[in-house]
Structure 1
Amino acid sequence: MKVQVQTLDATGNGDIELNDAIFGLEPRADILHRVVTWQLEKRRGTARAARERGDVARSGKKFGRQKGGGTARHGDRRAPVFIGGGKAHGPRVRDFNPSLNKKIRTLGLKMALSSKAQGGSLIVLDTLDVAEGKTKALAAQLGKLGFGAKALVIDGDQVTNSFALASSNLKGVNVLPAIGANVYDILKHDTLVLTRAAIEKLEARFNG
């Protein structure tokens, strides 16, 4: 698959041949759904448990008479109605750490990239160098490129510093290094923007 390479000035800079094994797959909704669900579950932190009646370090001895004391008939001080007692129906420990086969995760990322490439939502840029890192200059350039409402920009090992600074105040533009490319962020954005360096890193990641 051939894609035109552009510059930030919206001028052509040749073509690049994309690997069909990565950018030419037929997306499957079930695979993408499994990977996105796995990602969102992995984000959840472990729920903390509360001490219930059986977990509180207090005596189990009945502290008063059953009748004649003028109070309710409690068995011990671990009851939830007392200060320091156990919590009634408190939260239990829940560890959200699902597993997903590495082949499925890899296939899901390839299909996410393919969906953007085949849907016309992929833009390939030569570099991300922005003159003086000015937000105003970058905003004008992105308007010519047609980034859309939400765009995800993926660079090589590190995002070019001038672009990261200039785009930090632009709503709807998010940046990632190639190592951080993931299915959820790719699908969540209207446009996927890759640099030459990002494509090289992604292809090396899958081939390695």
Structure 2
Amino acid sequence: MELEVKSLGGKSAGSITVSDEIFGLEPRTDLIHRVVRWQLAKRQAGTHKTLGRSEVTGTTKKFVRQKGTGGARHGNRKVPQFRGGGRAFGPVVRDHAHDLPKKVRALGLRHALSSKARTSKLIVLDEAKSGDAKTKAVREQLAKLGLSNALVIDGTEIDANFGLAARNIPSIDVLPIAGINVYDIVRRDTLVLTKAAVTALEERFK
């Protein structure tokens, strides 16, 4: 597959040949959905907690006699039936993560990349660098590319000035190639890859 390469100023900078096994697949939304669900579950804090009957403060003395009251038999005020008692089957601190095979995760990433390429929402840049960390300058450059909601993926390291300038722009995310993930690709309208990122992806899936 042949993709056009653009400069940060919006001008043409040649073309690049990419692998059809990474960018030319027929997108499967079920695989993308599985990986996104796995990511969101893994990052969920799981710190919710309520007190059970063994954890609330209160006496265990039998507060009403067993018979003769005309009511139910009770021996503890900490049970869930009473106000101030513990909650039955309440949420506890736990890990929400679930397993997903490594091959499925890798396949989900390839299908997410292919979906952006198929819908013409993929832009390849020769490089993502800025002379100084000026947000206004980077915003103008991205506007020339028609980008207002995008994920920019660079090589092993992000250019310091470009990263500082871009982080102040709403709906623009910048990540190194090590941080590429399906959820961030899906949640942004356009995916922007530098040539270094494309090369790294080719090596990764070789």
Q: Is the 8 A contact 2:45 2:95 kept in 1?
A: yes
After TM superposition, give the deviation of residue 55 of structure 1 in Å. Answer: 5.2
TM-score, length of structure 1 as denominator length: 0.85
Separation in 2, partners of 1:188, 1:143: 19
Separation in 2, partners of 1:48, 1:123: 41
Which residue does 1:62 correspond to in 2?
A: 62
Which residue does 2:24 correspond to in 1?
A: 24
Q: Is the 8 A contact 2:7 2:13 kept in 1?
A: yes
- Residue aligned with 1:133, SS: coil
Between stretches 51-60 and 105-114, larger displacement belongs to: 51-60
Q: Is the 8 A contact 2:50 2:87 kept in 1?
A: no
Question: Share of identical aligned residues, percent?
Answer: 50
Which residue does 1:156 correspond to in 2?
A: 155
Which residue does 1:7 correspond to in 2?
A: 7
Deviations 1:93-122 (A, max 9, x none): 353121112111111100110111121111
Which residue does 1:205 correspond to in 2?
A: 204
Separation in 1, partners of 2:24, 2:30: 18
Q: Which amino acid aligns with 1:200?
A: T
Q: Is the 8 A contact 2:134 2:165 kept in 1?
A: yes
After TM superposition, give the deviation of residue 24 of structure 1 in Å. Answer: 0.8
Separation in 2, partners of 1:127, 1:117: 19
Q: Is the 8 A contact 2:132 2:162 kept in 1?
A: no
> Compared with structure 1, are the counterparts of its residues 146 and 48 closer, same or farther at alpha carbon in structure 2 (3 Å cutoff)?
closer
Which runs of 5 or more residues in structure 2 are unaligned?
none
Separation in 2, partners of 1:188, 1:138: 21
Which runs of 5 or more residues in structure 1 are unaligned?
none
> Compared with structure 1, are the counterparts of its residues 152 and 53 closer, same or farther at alpha carbon in structure 2 (3 Å cutoff)?
same
Which residue does 2:121 correspond to in 1?
A: 121
Q: How does 1:41-80 map to 2 (within 5 A)?
A: 41-54=41-54, 60-62=60-62, 65-66=65-66, 74-79=74-79
Between stretches 107-116 and 167-176, larger displacement belongs to: 167-176
CA root-mean-square deviation:
2.6
